[in-house]
Amino acid sequence: MWLALVQGLTEFLPISSAGHLVLAPRLLGWADQGLAFDVAVHLGSLVAVMLYFQRDLLELAMAPRQNARLLVAIFIGTLPAGIAGLLLRDYVEGQLRGPLVVASATVVFAVVLYLADRYRRRREARGVAEIRWGAAAFIGFSQALALVPGTSRSGITISAGLLLGLSREAAARFSFLLAVPIILAASAIKGLDLLTATVPPDWGLVASATAVAAVSAFACIHLFLRLIERIGMTPFVIYRLALGAVLFWMFL
């Protein structure tokens, strides 16, 4: 369950959940939890983001015409990562899971996050509803980079949003809204793999891991959005650089 807590706490922060999932088992001697656990923590993350943004999601569903611009922006922002995920899934899972890849991406995209926050265009009034389709496409192609473990899906999409002139909170909100279709698709694919697995899953483990990941991810989203304008991205950049340094020290 500790690993589910780690996943929930790191899924929506720009600090690379993949880096932690590489580091934690190595440091603490945890075994690979398997496909059922992977499905559970993804499902927990999905439950958390949908509960937190339930009002926004209901508004989008109930009034699609009035929210057509944002709906199209979410679709455009999701498409590149969805296509890349389908085409490159086997390659990513087979070739890009090494700890040095994770360490490198953790450090490189920490620098990207810092530069995006430091030199962002100051258009603080621009919110999620004002995102243009070209901007959504740019964020979407950035999100596809998160297929590389260590990049951080939230980190790269927030970086792209900041570069386009979104406020920190707006960039984070759009990143979290983009997480809904992406995590939903990933959960569905992995869920199908689970249903066709030869070994039956431990449904008790699935339920408890889902609950832990959901509660921790919900709390994380709430605190992040409340504090982000005040603290900025620098604490997360420093943390990522430290994490990357530890990973390099352990695996080089």
pLDDT per residue as tens digits for the range 131-164: 888 999 999 999 999 989 899 999 999 999 999 9
d(CA 85, CA 74): 17
Which residue do the tokens 């993350």 mark?
A: 45
Contact 153, 77 (CB under 8 A): no
Reading the chain (252 residues) residue by residue, the pLDDT tens digits are 677 888 888 889 999 887 777 777 666 666 656 666 777 888 899 999 999 999 999 999 998 888 888 999 999 999 999 899 888 877 877 777 788 888 999 999 999 999 999 987 665 546 787 788 899 999 999 999 998 989 999 999 999 999 998 889 999 999 999 999 998 988 887 777 777 767 776 778 778 889 999 999 999 999 999 999 899 999 999 999 999 998 899 888
Which residue do the tokens 């740019």 mark?
A: 138
- Residue 41: per-residue pLDDT: 85
The encoded tokens of residue 120 equal 């962002």
- Residue 125: per-residue pLDDT: 47
- Quick: pLDDT tens for 172-206: 999 999 999 998 988 887 777 777 767 776 778 77
DSSP letter assigned to residue 147: G
C-beta neighbour count of 204 within 10 angstroms: 8
